[in-house]
Amino acid sequence: MLSKQFVNLLNTFDPIHLEQMYRVKLMNREDTKFAIDRKILSDILPELVEN
């Protein structure tokens, strides 16, 4: 279960809606997945909000 603080942090990101996705031309791409500790993620997420 996610903590309230973590959920609040995630809510600082702007959402993207399905209507917006229809306008995006998706490219063929390869995704990389990472397993990361929640504490470390909580430390770096604020830096990503602006990007």
For residue 32, being part of any structural domain is answered with: no
Q: Spell out the residues 6+ positions from residue 6 whose beta carbon is closer than 8 angstroms to its own.
A: 38, 42
Mean pLDDT of 9-13: 88
- Nearest Cα to Cα of residue 42 among 16, 28, 30, 3: 3
Tokens of 17: 């809606």
In a domain, residue 49? The reply is yes
**Maximum Cα–Cα distance for the chain, whole Å?**
36
In a domain, residue 5? The reply is yes
Residue type at 7 in one-letter notation: V
In a domain, residue 18? The reply is no
Domain that holds residue 2: 1-11+37-51
Confidence of residue 23 (pLDDT cuts 50, 70, 90): confident
CA distance 20 to 18: 5
Q: Is 24 part of any domain?
A: no
Count of domains in the chain?
1
- Of 7 and 23, the one with more pLDDT: 7
pLDDT tens, position by position, 25-49: 776 777 889 899 988 988 888 888 8
